[in-house]
Structure formats: C-alpha cells, structure tokens
Amino acid sequence: MNVNDKNGGIAPYKFYVFGSFLREINPLDVDILIVYDQTRVTITTVLQLRRQLCTAFNLKFRIALDVCLLSLKETAGNRFITDENAELILG
Amino acid sequence: MPEYGKYEKVPRPESIDKFIEYLTGNKAVAKLDRISNQVLLVSRTKLPPLKVFMTNIYIVGEADVYEITTSEQNLNAIVTMSAWNGYSQEAKTLCSTMKIGLFKFNEFLGAVYFDGKKFLGYISPNERERQKRRNSPL
C-alpha cells in the first residue's frame, strides 16, 4: 500500500498507535489513529485506505485492527492524542 | 471474539442491550424497534420518532459521519456507545448541518427529550459545565 505523497513530499498522513497494544504483551486488537491532511486527500480516499488496511492487516496478522480517522483540523481542536497517550509511528 | 478486518465498529451486544434497557425506562420513549443490527427506531411519546445509528468508534470524525450517512439513509442520530467514546467538534457540526444529532451514550438519553436545534446541539450537563469553565475569565 502506497501512502507516500505522489509528488515525493511528506505523505498526507500521520499514523499513531494507542490502546492495549502499547501496554499488553498479547493484545486482542491494535488501535491506530490516522490523521489526514484534509487539504490534500479526500474523505473517500481516507475511507478506502482504512478498508484496505483492515483487510491487509487481518490477512497478515490475524488480529483485529481498529482504525480511527481524524483530519488535521479535527485533531487541533481536541485532546484525543494526548489523552490516549497515542504514539506517532509514521508520518 | 475479535472481528478481524471489520471497520464498521459494531457495538458490543451488551452495550446495545444496556442502551435499549435505559431507553425503555425513559419517560420520553414510547416504543423501540430494532430495524437492523446497528439501527434502532425510537418512537417517542410526544415528539417525532428517531432513526438512530449505533456505533462503537472511539472518536467519531467527519470521515466516519460521511461513511455512516452514505450507507444508512434518513438518520436522525448517531450514537457512539461505550462510555469512553467521543467525537470531534467538526463531526458534531457536520452532523448538525445534516440535521443529525451526534451523541455519546449518556448524551442521547438526555437529548431524546428534545427536538430541533435543542436536540441537535444537546450536550450533557457535565460537558456544558466544563465548557463554561473553559470559557470563563480567570
């Protein structure tokens, strides 16, 4: 799956991981947050990315992947990343 | 059992049972009909019925609102079920422009008494107090 910017720039996504995956040895699922730049990608594209990620993750790892989606604008106005102690893993 | 590869975020059955139990005991509610796994029709005693979509997204964003409303037509409300779930302010505003209320579990139990703008903009008393404190001068 290609999440790189087509112009070779910084990808319009940031990937965070949060929840039990960071705390437990055998987590039942993996929670990630994808923060997207709403000025560079459409919501349709982001939703498609989520579907593809969930399917690919399931096939590869046989563990549930829960993906939250927020735009950059949305993250600026709330404390979800801080409150969840989400760790930036890519972007 | 984990739902591998499922991105719709279906609420846990026990969450839906609890939601239905609380609504059944609500004075504003006359009748409940489970239309589908995630959709509930809430008939009210004095106000029009509400078609409610139940989800379990940790934080409902604009993208989720788009996905839910394109898959399910004529919704009046979206409720994210677990106690620790929430939504972005942008998602709440987007829903309001579509005349859909976006609520946390407990908020919906209060919102069900209202209609129109009061319904769409309903937030819990605790959240109202928190916002008042945040906006008040030091």
Phi then psi dihedrals of residue B116, to 5 deg: 60, -140
Q: Which residues contact A25 (CB under 8 A, 6 or more apart)?
A: none
Is the per-residue pLDDT at B56 higher than 80? Answer: yes
Q: What percent of chain A has pLDDT over 70?
A: 89
Is the per-residue pLDDT at B136 higher than 90? Answer: no
Inter-chain CB proximity A64 and B63 less than 8 Å: no
Average pLDDT, chain A: 87
Nearest to B5 among A28, A33, A55 (CB): A55
Inter-chain CB proximity B67 and A70 less than 8 Å: no
Helix (H, G, I), strand (E, B) or coil at B28: coil
> How many CB pairs below 8 Å do chains A and B form together?
71
Residues of A in contact with B59 (CB under 8 A): 33, 68, 70, 78, 80
Residue extents of the structural domains in chain A: 13-90
Is the per-residue pLDDT at B79 higher than 50? Answer: yes
List residues bridging with A17 in a β-sheet: A32, A87
Other C-beta atoms within 10 Å of B90: how many? 20
Name the CATH superfamily for A13-90: Beta Polymerase, domain 2 (3.30.460.10)
Inter-chain CB proximity B61 and A67 less than 8 Å: no
| pTM, 2 dp | 0.88
